[in-house]
Chains A and B, each alone.
Chain A
Amino acid sequence: MDLANLATQLNAGTILPESIVLVTLMVVLIGDLIVGRSSSRWVAYAAIAGLLGSIIALYFQWDIVNPIAFLGGFNGDDLSIVFRGIIALSAAVTILMSITYIEKSGTALPEFLVILLTATMGGMFLSGANELVMIFISLESLSISSYLLTGYTKRDPRSNEAALKYLLIGASSTAVFLYGVSLLYGLSGGQTELSAIATGIVQANAGQSLGLAISLVFVIAGIGFKISAAPFHQWTPDVYEGAPTPVIAFLSVGSKAAGFALAIRLLSTAFPLLSSEWKFVFTALAVLSMILGNVVALAQTSMKRMLAYSSIAQAGFVMIGLIAGTEAGYASMVFYLLVYLFMNLGGFCCVVLFSLRTGTDQISEYSGLYQKDPLLTLCLSICLLSLGGIPPLAGFFGKIYLFWAGWQAGQYGLVLLGLVTTVVSIYYYIRVVRMMVVKEPQEMSDVVKNYPEINWTLSGMRPLQVGIVLSLIATSLAGILSNPLFTLANNSIANTAILQPIIISSAGAQSFAPTPKTPPAVSLTDRN
C-alpha cells in the first residue's frame, strides 16, 4: 500500500471538528498550567469558541462525498454530523452555565472544562464510530470523563456518592457491553467493522443463533444505560441529584444523544437480521421508561430528581422513533433530540441560576418566584411546558412528529401510551409552574423572600443569562419556525447510506414477520 493510497484511506479531514475540540482542550489545559488560576477568566470563552468552531466545521462537512475515514473506523455521514452537532452544542451551553457554578464551588474551572471537552470529544467520536473497538474506546472516554465530572465537587458527600454509584454501574454496564461486542466479533468470524459484521454473520450462518441474541441483549444493556432507559435507569435519579447541575445538563442531553447515535448506528448496521427482536426489546424499554419516568416524577420534591425522572420519560418518547424504524421515525428522533437540547438545557440553566441565588433546589422553595425574578420564571415555565408538550412550543412539535411517525409505522399502542403519559407529565411540570406563578405574595417561601438583588454584572453571570435567553427564544420559536429543523432532521436520515436498506425494507414490509434482508453493500472491499 503506497502512501498516497493510505492518505485517501485515512481521510483524516473527516474528523476536523473533533480535532478542533482536541486543540481547544489542549489550549485550555496548557493555558491553565502556564497562566495559573487567573486563566479561568478566558478559558471558558476559549472553550466555547472552540466548540462553535467545531460546529462550523461540521456544517462544511454536510453531504461529504467520502464519509468513511480511518480505514473504515469512522463514518462521517450526515447522521453522525447531526449528532456530533447536538453534542457539541450541548457542551457549549453547559459551559455557559458552569462558569459561575464551578467557581462558587471552589474548584478549578479549567480542569472541569478539560474533562467536559474530553467527554464531548468522546461523544462526538461515538456518533460516527463505525468499528467495534472505536465504539468501545469513544464510549469509555465519554463514560470515564462523566464519572470524573459527577464527582467533581469533591467536598460534597452527595457528589462523591453519586460518582461512586455512577462508576460502579457504568463500569459494569460497559463490561456487559464489551462482552456483547466480543461475541459479535467471534460470531462474525473476526470482523470488527459494523457493516462487515453483518456480512460475516450471514456468511457464518449465525443469523438465528443464540449467540447473536445474547450479544444483542448485552449490547442493549450498554446502550440502555447511556440513554437511561428503564430498567437500566437506576443511576439517573441519584446521579442527577448529587452531581453538579451543569454536569447533569450535559449528561441529560449530550451523553444521551451519544447513546441514541450509538443505538441507531450499531443496531441498524450490525443487527439487521434481528431487527424485529431488538425492536421488541426496545418496545419493552420504551413502555417501562414512559410509565416509570412519568409516574415516579409525580412524587418528587427535589427539582433535580424530578428532571431526572423526566429525562427517563423523555428517553421513552424518543425510543418510539427508534422502534418505528422508518425514515420518519429516525428523523423524528433527531428532531426531538434537537429541541430537547434547548428545552432541557434551558430548564437546567434556570435550576442552576436559582440554586446559585438561593442555595436550594427544592420544588417547594420556588413558591412565589414570579415577583422576584420574572425572567427565570418565564424561562423555566416555558421550558417545562415545552417538555410537557404544550403548543406552540418546540416540544409540542417534537412530540407530534414522534407520535405521527410511530403511528405511521403501526405502533398504535406505544403512541397511545405516549399520549396518556404526556398528560401525566403535564401534571408534574405544571406543578412547578404553579409554585412559581400562581402562588400569592404571602405564600412566598423563605428563600424567595430573601432573594438577592438580581445583578447580571457579576463575573460569570452574563454567560448564564445568555444561555437562558437563547434557550428561551429557541424553545418558544423552534416549534413555529421549525421547517429548517425538520429539513435538517429529514435530510440527515435520507442522506445516510447505512440506513437506506432498513428504511426501504421497513417501508416495504408492513407486516412484522422477520423478512430476510440483504446486508448493506460494502464499498470498501479494496481495502486489503
Chain B
Amino acid sequence: MLSALIWIPVVGAACIGFIPMQGNRARSLALAIATGMIIWTLVLLSQFDISLAGMQFSELLPWIDTLGLSYSLGADGLSIPLVALAGVLTWIAIYSSSENITRPRLYYALLLLIYAGVVGGFLAQNLLLFVLFYEVELIPFYLLIAIWGGTAKRGYAAMKFLIYTAVSGILILAGFLGITWLTGSSSFDYNAIATQGLPLQAQLILLTILLVGFGIKIPLVPLHTWLPDAYTEASPPVAIMLGGILAKLGTYGIIRFGLGLFPETWAIVAPGLAIIGAISAVYGAVTAIAQKDIKRMVAYSSIGHMGYVMLAAAAATELSTVGAVAQMVAHGLILAILFNLIGVVEAKVGTRELDVLNGLMSPIRGLPYISALLVMGGMASAGIPGMTGFIAEFLVLQGSYARFPLPTLVCVLCTGLTAVYFVILLNRTCFGKLDNKTAYYPVVTWSEKVPALVLTALILFLGIQPTWLVRWSETTTTAMVASVRVNTTQQIAIKN
C-alpha cells in the first residue's frame, strides 16, 4: 500500500520526462498523480489504527543483503501526518505552477520525483534506505532552484543548497554507519538496532553527528545560512516544496533517529537542544524584522518556527512531542500559504520590496482577496487562536514548560516577535495607499486563488477542530517518549 505512494509518482515522472507531450498535458498528468496520491493518503488515513503505537502497513522486501539494505517501509503516527502534508503541498505546488513555464516536462517530473523521495524518507524503516531517499532529493532540488529560480543569484543559491545538503547527507550516512557497526548489527533495519549497549561517549558522538546532519536540513541556527538564499531564489512552488516538505525531513529525522535511537542519551543533549531551539526562534524572529524583502522575511520566520519543533523534541514529554508533529504540519501549511500568496503578489505587482509595496487591500484596483488571505496567513503564523498555528505552538509550549522553563519563555516571547514582523509586513503591503502611477495590476483569476483557499480552509479547520491534527500521532509519540522518561528518572536516581 505504501509502495504506491513512492512508485506511482516515480513512474509518472518517467512518463512525463520521456514521452513527448505538450506542457499542458504534462501539467495535467502531474496534477492527476498528485490528486491520486492525496486520495490514496486519505484511504490510508481511514485505515490507520490510531490506537497502535507500532508500524502499520509494513512492507518488507529483501534487497541487498550484503549491505544490510532492505526495502522496508512502514507508517506510524509520526510519519503518516507528514505523508499527508507532503501530498497536499505537492498538489499545491503543481497546481500553483505557472501555466507557461519553460521546459514543463522536466519541471513536473522533478516535482513528482521530490514527492516520491520525501515520502520514501518518511516511510523508510531501514537506515540506508532513508539515506537513499534523503539524497535523492539533492539533484532535483538543485535543478529546480538553478533553472526556474528568481534572479541571477539562483546559481549561487542552488549550489549553496547542494553543498550544504550533501554535507548533511554525508554526516547522516557516517552516523548511520557508525551506529550500525558499533552496535554489531548486520543490517540497517530500524528495528534491528539498539544503541543501549554502547558506551556513553560513543552514543554522544553519534548523536551529535546526526544532530548536525539533520540540523543543516531543518535548519538550526548556526547551520542555516543556505536557507535564506535558497528560499528566496526558488520560485514559489519550489519554495513550498523546500520549506514545507524538505525541512520536515530534517525534524522528522531528529525525532525518529535522534530521539528514537538514543533515548538514553537524549536527556543529556536535550538542554543544549532546547537552548539552540530557543536561539533559533529568537534569531529567526529578530532577523525577519530587519528584512526588506517579504519572501526573505517569511524564510527567516521559517527558521524561527522550526526552533519550536526543536524545543519540543528536546523536551520529549508526551504533550510536547505531539506538539512537535503538530507544529511540523502547521508550519508546512502556513509556510505554503504565505509563499503562495507572496508568489501571486510578486507576479501581479512585480516586486517584493516592502518599501515599494503599498495599499494592496484596496478593493478595486488592489488585490483585496489576496491581501485578506495574506492577513489570515500572517495571523496563523503568529499564533493567533482559532488557527492551526496556535494549537501547535500552544501544545509545544505547554509540553515543554515543565522541562525547560526558560527556553520556553523565550519562545513565548518569540511568538510575540513573530506578530511584530507580520504586522510590519501586513502594514506595509496591505494597508496604506496605492501608488497611482504603478497601480494597474493584472486581475487575479479564480484558479490562482484556489491553492490559498484550500490551505486557508485546512488551517482554519485544523485550528477549530485540532483533534484531527493530533489524533494520529498521540499513541506513537507517547510510546516513543516513554523510553526516554524512564531512563532519565533512572539517571537522576543514580546521580542522587
Interface residue? A278 (CB, 8 A):
no
**Complex contacts, B54 vs chain A, CB 8 Å:** none
Query: Nearest residue in B to A425 (C-beta to C-beta)?
Result: B166
Knowing A396-B132, A397-B64, A486-B64 are in contact, say whether A408-B181 is a contact too (CB < 8 A).
Answer: yes
Find out whether the CB atom of B67 lies under 8 angstroms from the CB atom of A400.
yes
CA of A422 to CA of B138, assembled, Å = 14
Q: Which 6 A-B residue pairings sit nearest by Cβ, starting from the closest?
A: A419-B170, A391-B132, A438-B146, A423-B166, A407-B177, A486-B66
Partner of B174, one of A408, A416, A490: A416
**How many inter-chain contacts with C-beta < 8 Å in the A-B complex?**
73
A426 x B166 contact (CB < 8 A): yes
B384 / chain A contacts, CB cutoff of 8 Å: none
Contact across chains for B135 and A396 when beta carbons are under 8 A apart:
yes
A277 to chain B, nearest CB (A): 26
Q: Determine if A328 is an interface residue (Cβ-Cβ < 8 Å).
A: yes
* Contact across chains for A404 and B67 when beta carbons are under 8 A apart: yes
A419–B181 contact, CB under 8 A?
no
B32-88 residues with Cβ-Cβ distance < 8 A to A are: 63-68
Q: Across the interface, do B66 and A328 meet the contact criterion of CB distance under 8 Å?
A: yes
Interface string of A394-416 (1 = CB under 8 A from B): 00110011011001100000011
Chain B minimum-CB-distance residue to A371: B103
Complex-state Cα separation, A392 to B71, whole angstroms: 13
Are B170 and A422 in contact, CB atoms less than 8 angstroms apart? yes
Most chain B beta-carbon contacts within 10 A, residue among A390, A391, A401, A404 = A391
Q: Which residues in B have their C-beta under 8 angstroms from that of A437?
A: 143, 147
Q: Give the chain A neighbours of B136 by CB distance below 8 A.
A: 390-392
Partner of B162 from A401, A430, A486 at Cβ < 8 Å? A430
How distant is the Cα of A175 from the Cα of B418 in the complex, in angstroms? Answer: 73
Of residues 147 through 199 on chain B, the ones whose CB sits less than 8 Å from some CB of chain A are 147, 155, 159, 162-163, 166-167, 170, 173-174, 177-178, 181
Interface membership of B139, Cβ < 8 A: yes
Does residue A456 face the partner (Cβ distance < 8 Å to B)?
no
A interface: dominant SS: helix
Instruction: Please tell me if A420 contacts chain B, counting CB pairs below 8 Å.
Output: yes
> Within B111-150, which residues are at the interface with A (CB < 8 Å)?
128, 131-133, 135-136, 138-139, 142-143, 146-147
In the complex, chain A residues 285-333 whose Cβ is within 8 Å of any chain B Cβ: 328, 331
User: Given A400-B128, A423-B170, are A434 and B181 also a contact pair (CB < 8 Å)?
Assistant: no
Which residues in B have their C-beta under 8 angstroms from that of A419? 170, 173-174
> Which residue of the partner chain, among A328, A390, A434, contacts B135 with CB atoms under 8 Å?
A390
| A430 x B142 contact (CB < 8 A) | yes
Any chain B CB within 8 A of the CB of A385?
Answer: yes
Query: A459-516: which residues lie under 8 A (CB-CB) from chain B?
Result: 482-483, 486, 490
Instruction: Decide yes or no: A407 and B181 within 8 Å by CB, A390-B138, A426-B162, A434-B155 being known contacts.
Output: yes
Indicate the member of B67, B131, B143 with the most A CB atoms within 10 Å: B67
Contact A415 B155 (CB under 8 A): no
The answer to whether the Cβ of A280 comes within 8 Å of any Cβ in the partner chain is: no
Q: Which B residues have a C-beta under 8 Å from some C-beta of A?
A: 63-68, 128, 131-133, 135-136, 138-139, 142-143, 146-147, 155, 159, 162-163, 166-167, 170, 173-174, 177-178, 181
Query: Which of B68, B174, B178 has the most chain A CB within a 10 Å cutoff?
Result: B174
CA distance A117 to B450 in the complex (A): 66
Given contacts A328-B66, A392-B132, list 19 more A-B pairs with CB under 8 A: A390-B139, A391-B135, A392-B136, A397-B67, A401-B66, A407-B177, A408-B181, A416-B174, A419-B170, A419-B173, A426-B162, A426-B166, A427-B159, A427-B163, A430-B142, A430-B159, A438-B147, A486-B66, A490-B66
Residues of B within 8 A of A483 (CB): 63-64
Q: A38-58: which have CB < 8 Å to B? A: none
Residues of A within 8 A of B (CB): 328, 331, 385, 390-392, 396-397, 400-401, 403-404, 407-408, 415-416, 419-420, 422-423, 426-427, 430, 433-434, 437-438, 482-483, 486, 490
Q: How far, in whole Å, are A391 and B131 apart by their CA atoms in the complex?
A: 9
Task: Check B155 against A482 for contact (C-beta < 8 Å).
Answer: no
CB contacts (< 8 Å) of A434 on chain B: these are 146, 155
| Alpha-carbon distance A453/B74, docked complex (angstroms) | 50
Residues of A within 8 A of B174 (CB): 415-416, 419
Q: CB-CB < 8 A to B166: which residues of A?
A: 422-423, 426
Bound together, the chains give a CA A483 to CA B70 distance in angstroms of 11
Output the nearest chain A residue to B186 by Cβ-Cβ distance: A408
7 residue pairs of the A-B complex, CB under 8 angstroms, read: A390-B139, A400-B173, A419-B170, A419-B173, A423-B170, A427-B163, A486-B65
What is the bound-complex CA distance between A8 and B177, given in angstroms? 49
The answer for the CA separation of A434 and B163 in the assembled complex, in Å, is 14
A486 to chain B, nearest CB (A): 5
Q: How far is the CB of A409 from chain B (nearest CB, A)?
A: 10
- Nearest-neighbour CB distance to chain A for B189, whole angstroms, equals 15
Shortest Cβ gap from B477 to chain A (Å): 30
From the candidates A392, A407, A420, A482, name the one contacting B170 in the complex (CB within 8 A).
A420
Which chain B residues lie closer than 8 Å to A422 at the CB level? 166, 170
C-alpha gap A297/B249 in the complex (Å): 32
For the complex formed, measure the closest distance between the CB of A363 and the CB atoms of chain B, giving whole angstroms.
Answer: 15
CB distance from B147 to the nearest CB of A (A): 5
- List chain B residues, Cβ under 8 A from A401: 66-67
Given the complex of chains A and B, what is the CA–CA distance between A391 and B10 in angstroms? 14
Question: Shortest CB–CB separation between residue B285 and chain A, in angstroms?
Answer: 32
Q: In the assembly, what is the distance between CA of A407 and CA of B180, in Å?
A: 10
Report chain A residues within 8 Å CB of B155. Answer: 434, 438
Tell me the bound Cα distance from A396 to B181 in angstroms: 19
Q: In the complex, which residues of chain B have a beta carbon less than 8 angstroms from the beta carbon of A328?
A: 66
Contacts of A391 in B (CB 8 A): 131-133, 135-136
Measured CA separation A210–B317 after assembly (Å): 65
- The verdict on A415 contacting B177 (CB below 8 Å), with A392-B136, A430-B162 known, is yes
Chain B residues positioned under 8 Å from A403 (CB to CB): 173, 177
Q: Write the chain B residue with the least CB distance to A401.
A: B67
CB distance from B23 to the nearest CB of A (A): 15
Give complex CA distance A427, B160 in Å. 10
Tell me, in angstroms, the Cα distance from A331 to B65 when the chains sit together. 14
A416–B138 Cα distance when bound, in Å, is 20
Q: For A408, what are the chain B residues with a Cβ–Cβ distance below 8 Å? A: 181
Residues of A near B133 (CB, < 8 A) are 391
By a CB distance below 8 angstroms, the chain B residues around A423 are 163, 166-167, 170
Query: How far is B64's CA from A404's CA once the two chains are assembled, in angstroms?
Result: 13
Query: Chain B residues near A415 (CB, 8 Å)?
Result: 174, 177
**Chain B residues closer than 8 Å to A438, beta-carbon distance:** 143, 146-147, 155
Chain A residues whose C-beta falls within 8 Å of the C-beta of B67 in the assembled complex: 397, 400-401, 404, 486
- Complex Cα spacing A426 to B181, Å: 26
Pick the residue among B64, B68, B142, B146 that contacts A482 (CB under 8 A). B64
Question: Given the complex of chains A and B, what is the CA–CA distance between A483 and B159 in angstroms?
Answer: 34
Minimal beta-carbon separation of B352 from chain A (angstroms): 22
Query: For A392, what are the chain B residues with a Cβ–Cβ distance below 8 Å?
Result: 132, 136
CA distance A91 to B212 in the complex (A): 45
CA distance in complex: A154, B65 (Å): 50
Closest to A328 in B: B66
Q: Cα distance A496–B159 when bound, in Å?
A: 45
Q: How far is the CB of A386 from chain B (nearest CB, A)?
A: 11
Whose C-beta in chain A lies nearest to the C-beta of B10? A392
- Tell me, in angstroms, the Cα distance from A419 to B131 when the chains sit together: 13
**Chain B residues near A400 (CB-CB < 8 A):** 67, 128, 173
